[in-house]
Amino acid sequence: MTTSSEIKKKVIVFAEKRDDLIHPISFELLGKGREIADKLNAELSCVLLGYRVSREQAMELIYYGADQVFLYDNIVFKELNIIPYKHNIVQLVKREKPDIFLFGATHFGRSLAPRVAAALETGLTADCIDLQVDENGDLIQIRPAFTGNILAHIKTKTKPVMSTVRYKVMQMREKDQARKGQIINEATEVPNERGPRIIRKERQAEFNITEAKIIVSGGRGLGTSEGFKLLKELADLLGGVVGASRTPVDEGWIGKEHQVGFSGNTVKPKLYIACGISGSPQHLAGMKESETIIAINTDPSAPIHRTADYSIISDLYQVIPEMIKQIKARKVNRT
């Protein structure tokens, strides 16, 4: 006879494979997963589905904290087709009966996880920024809602407790090549269910604003797409990149990969310079965690000033050239 205390708890993390690489969020999830598993005295597993996956890649997941890896290698996983991914993960969950199952809140994770959760008739908490274990051993899932205005603490009654976790908020562990673990080769089931057909795949521009340490962002106050040339000059000088509020993106002044905010990217740079941006709640949702914020806006009542460390209440077309001039002068003086 087994009592509940003899059954080891299980945490499973979904490792996301993109082309030939494992997405870094997978290692972040393993970092958090390890912490949770240790608190619950649970086993931490990772499921990796892909095509032509090397053993070394599966081993990486062990080096970053997994006790075992369920490995699926099949051509159906060559592209990100939701249906076969869902089918095999659901089968695995039914067999392993994990207590907790974590996905990355990437586009793919946020599309796949709800399908898995619905198939398993379990709860799913979206876009978590923290996971904690409470005194009862329950998982507290913390997530922003209401366009980033609140943080909800959520508990799940059903098993497994499922969450998607935001990229770049969890800490990955130091890689430990001495860690031992098991790689279990799983047989892939190819479901009959059909899904959409891929006609073509394009890579987007390499530009990724979420990686930037310094962002010089422009809003409607720029007036024209030309304004971004000036911002680019400042950004280049600072070793940063150009961002934007939604307005210039909708106007077609700049590409949507530059957009910061609720319907764009969430960023947390060391320095965020908001030029001609009023500071709508939807924009703030994407940048208010920045370390230092400078606002340049002619309107003293613009809400952005309340979130800024430094506000210059003046025309950005005077302020930015002055900044460029003074930065250049400082660089000359330093050498």
Partner 1 sequence: MGLKLIVLIKQVPDIAKVRFDVEKGRIDRSSAEAEINPFDLNALEAAVQVKEKVGGIVTAISMGPPQAVTSLKDAIARGADEAILLEDKVFAGADTWATSYTLSCAIRKVGDFDLIFCGEKTVDGDTGQVGAEVAEQLGIPHIYYVSKINDISQDKIKVMSEVDESSYLLESDFPLLVSVTKDVNKPRLPTLRDKLKAMKAEIKVWHANDLSDVINLANVGYFGSPTTVHKVVIPKEKERQGKTFKDVPGGVNFVLDALEAKKLI
Ligand X SMILES: Cc1cc2nc3c(=O)[nH]c(=O)nc-3n(C[C@H](O)[C@H](O)[C@H](O)COP(=O)(O)OP(=O)(O)OC[C@H]3O[C@@H](n4cnc5c(N)ncnc54)[C@H](O)[C@@H]3O)c2cc1C
Binding footprint of ligand X on the chain (CB under 6 A): 219-221, 245-247, 259-264, 276-278, 280, 282-283, 286, 296-299, 302, 315-317
113 vs 111: CA distance, rounded Å:
6
| Residue showing tokens 């047989």 | 187
- Choosing from 180, 187, 197, 332, the residue that interacts with partner 1 (CB under 8 A) is 197
168 vs 212: CA distance, rounded Å:
13
Smaller CB separation from ligand X, 61 or 222: 222
Query: Among ligand X, partner 1, none, what does residue 190 contact (CB within 5–8 Å per kind)?
Result: none
Query: Among partner 1, ligand X, none, what does residue 157 contact (CB within 5–8 Å per kind)?
Result: partner 1
**Closest to 273 in 3D by CA, of 324, 224, 223, 225:** 324
Q: How far is the CB of 307 from ligand X (least distance, A)?
A: 12
Smaller CB separation from ligand X, 269 or 286: 286
**247-286 mask for partner 1 (x: CB under 8 A)?**
---x-----x-----xx------xx--------xxx----
196 vs 81: CA distance, rounded Å:
8
194 binds partner 1 (CB under 8 A): yes
- Choosing from 9, 91, 111, 220, the residue that interacts with partner 1 (CB under 8 A) is 111
Query: Among ligand X, partner 1, none, what does residue 172 contact (CB within 5–8 Å per kind)?
Result: none
How long is the chain?
335
Do 263 and 246 form a contact (C-beta atoms < 8 A)? Answer: yes
179 vs 69: CA distance, rounded Å:
13
Query: Among ligand X, partner 1, none, what does residue 261 contact (CB within 5–8 Å per kind)?
Result: ligand X
Q: How far is the CB of 75 from ligand X (least distance, A)?
A: 37
160 vs 133: CA distance, rounded Å:
15
Starting at the edge strand that comes first in sequence, how are the strands of the sheet with 124-128 ordered? 124-128, 161-165, 100-104, 10-15, 43-50, 68-73, 182-186
Burial class (CB in 10 A: 0-12, 13-18, 19+), 212: buried
> What number of other Cβ atoms are within 10 A of residue 5's Cβ?
7
Query: Among partner 1, ligand X, none, what does residue 122 contact (CB within 5–8 Å per kind)?
Result: partner 1
82 binds partner 1 (CB under 8 A): yes
- The structure tokens listed for 32 are 């958090």
Query: Among ligand X, partner 1, none, what does residue 327 contact (CB within 5–8 Å per kind)?
Result: partner 1
Do 181 and 68 form a contact (C-beta atoms < 8 A)? Answer: yes
| Candidate segments 34-42, 52-60, 184-192, 315-323, binder of partner 1 by CB under 8 A | 315-323
Do 271 and 238 form a contact (C-beta atoms < 8 A)? Answer: yes
123 binds partner 1 (CB under 8 A): yes
Residue 274 in 3-state DSSP?
A: strand
Do 322 and 275 form a contact (C-beta atoms < 8 A)? Answer: no
> What number of other Cβ atoms are within 10 A of residue 274's Cβ?
32
Smaller CB separation from partner 1, 68 or 280: 280
Q: How far is the CB of 79 from partner 1 (least distance, A)?
A: 8
Query: Among ligand X, partner 1, none, what does residue 59 contact (CB within 5–8 Å per kind)?
Result: none
Q: How far is the CB of 62 from partner 1 (least distance, A)?
A: 25
Q: Binding to partner 1 (CB under 8 A): which residues in 28-67?
A: none
| Candidate segments 30-38, 51-59, 203-211, 220-228, binder of partner 1 by CB under 8 A | 203-211
Query: Among ligand X, partner 1, none, what does residue 197 contact (CB within 5–8 Å per kind)?
Result: partner 1
